[in-house]
C-alpha cells in the first residue's frame, strides 16, 4: 500500500517511535471519507473527533494525546464512522457525552449531544508491534464505558481546565536531533516536551502553547488546543470547536493572533501568514 510522503512526515514528526500497523494504513487510505473517528487505548475510548481529512486529523489527535498516557506501550486502535457533513456535530457530541473520553474536554454542541451515536463501520490496530487491536471497541467494553460515563457526575467534557502556578523548574537541556541514536521512552518524552511550555511549569507568557497540546493564558484560563499541520505550521482550535480557527507559519505570530482573538480584537489585530515586523510575545 502506497502512503503519501506528507503522511509519512506527519507520522514521523509526532515522535511515536513505533511503526504503523497495516490496518491503520488501510483506514487512512480512505482519506476521502468524512465522519467521526474514535481513538481507543487498552479497553477504553480515549478520544473522539470529526474530520474531512481522514489521513491527517486522526494522526494529529493521536500525537496530542499519546504521551499523556502513562503506559504508551499499551495497544491502540482507531474506529471510523462515516456520516454527512451536517451530521458531524451531532454524532461527535453524542459520542463524547455517551463515552466520556478522558481527553475530550469540550463538546461541539450540547444541544445535539443526546442525538445519534456514530455508526462504526471499520476498526484497526494503530501500531505494528501490537498483538492485535485493543479492546476499546468490543461491544461489552463500549457498554461498560457508557455506564461509567452515566455514573460520573463530573465528566471530562464538563470540567473547565485551569492550571495553578507552580515554582519554576530547572531549565531543560536542549535535545540534539543530529545524533542518530535509539531513544528510550524517557528521552523521547523530553523531545516531545521541547515543543511547548511544560504543562507543570510556570505560565510565563500571555498565551502559552503547552507541551501536551493545550493553549492556556498567563492567568491559567484554558482557551483550546494547538497543533502542527503537514507543513509544520501551527494552528489553534478554540475550546468547544472541532476545526482550527487561526493559522500562521510562525508560532510567535500565532500567539499574537490568539491573544487578539481572546481579547476581542480579532478583526483589527490578527496578523496574516505573510505579514512581518510584528513584536513576538
Dmax (CA) of the chain: 57
Q: With contact defined as beta carbons under 8 Å apart, do 46 and 102 qualify?
A: yes
The contacts of residue 6 (CB under 8 Å, 6+ apart) are 56, 230
When pLDDT is averaged across residues 249-266 and rounded to a whole number, the result is 78
d(Cα 237, Cα 224) in Å, to the nearest integer? 6
DSSP 180: -
Cα 125 versus chain centre, distance: 18
With vertex at residue 45, the alpha carbon angle to CA 8 and CA 99, rounded to the nearest 5 degrees, is 140
List the Cα angle 115/118/123 in 5-degree steps.
165
> Is the Cβ–Cβ distance between 54 and 80 less than 8 Å?
yes
Please state whether beta strands 222-228 and 44-51 pair in parallel, antiparallel, or not at all (unpaired). Answer: unpaired
User: Per residue in 63-101, pLDDT tens?
Assistant: 889 989 989 889 999 999 999 999 999 999 999 999 999
pLDDT band of residue 192 (cuts 50, 70, 90) is very low
Quote the pLDDT of residue 110: 93
Percent of the chain with pLDDT over 90: 37
**What residue ranges define each of the domains in the chain, with the CATH number in brackets?**
5-158 (3.40.1440.10), 160-281 (no CATH)
How many other C-beta atoms can be found within 10 angstroms of the C-beta atom of residue 161? 14
Model-wide pTM > 0.75: no
In 3-state terms the chain splits into helix, strand, coil percentages (rounded to 5) of: 30, 20, 50
Task: Give the closest residue to 118 by CA, choosing from 104, 105, 137.
Answer: 137
Instruction: State pLDDT tens for residues 58-73.
Output: 998 998 899 899 898 8
pLDDT classification of 154: cutoffs 50, 70, 90: very high
Is the pLDDT reported for residue 197 higher than 50? yes
Amino acid at each position: 500500500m502506497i502512503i503519501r510522503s506528507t503522511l509519512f512526515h506527519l507520522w514521523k514528526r509526532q515522535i511515536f517511535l513505533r511503526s504503523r500497523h497495516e490496518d491503520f494504513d488501510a483506514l487512512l487510505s480512505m482519506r476521502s471519507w468524512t465522519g467521526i473517528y474514535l481513538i481507543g487505548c487498552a479497553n477504553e475510548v480515549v478520544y473522539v473527533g470529526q474530520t474531512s481529512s481522514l489521513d491527517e486529523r486522526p494522526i494529529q489527535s493521536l500525537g496530542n494525546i499519546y504521551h499523556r498516557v502513562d503506559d504508551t506501550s499499551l495497544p491502540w486502535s482507531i474506529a471510523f464512522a462515516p456520516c454527512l457533513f451536517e451530521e458531524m456535530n451531532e454524532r461527535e457530541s453524542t459520542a463524547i457525552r455517551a463515552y466520556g473520553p478522558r481527553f475530550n474536554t469540550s463538546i461541539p454542541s450540547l444541544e445535539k449531544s443526546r442525538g445519534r451515536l456514530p455508526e462504526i463501520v471499520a476498526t484497526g490496530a494503530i501500531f505494528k508491534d501490537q498483538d492485535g487491536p485493543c479492546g476499546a471497541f468490543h461491544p461489552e467494553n463500549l457498554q461498560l464505558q457508557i455506564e461509567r460515563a452515566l455514573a460520573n457526575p463530573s465528566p471530562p467534557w464538563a470540567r473547565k481546565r485551569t492550571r495553578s502556578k507552580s515554582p519554576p523548574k530547572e531549565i531543560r537541556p536542549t535535545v540534539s536531533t543530529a545524533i542518530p541514536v535509539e531513544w528510550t521512552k524517557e528521552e523521547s518524552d523530553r523531545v516531545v516536551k521541547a515543543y511547548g511550555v511544560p504543562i507543570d511549569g510556570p505560565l510565563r507568557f500571555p498565551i502559552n502553547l503547552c507541551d501536551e497540546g493545550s493553549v492556556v493564558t498567563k492567568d491559567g484560563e484554558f482557551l483550546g488546543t494547538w497543533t502542527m499541520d503537514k507543513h509544520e505550521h501551527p494552528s489553534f482550535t478554540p475550546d468547544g470547536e472541532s476545526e482550527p480557527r487561526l493559522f500562521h507559519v510562525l508560532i510567535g505570530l500565532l500567539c499574537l493572533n490568539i491573544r487578539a482573538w481572546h481579547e476581542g480584537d480579532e478583526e483589527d489585530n490578527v496578523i496574516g501568514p505573510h505579514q512581518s515586523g510584528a513584536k513576538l510575545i
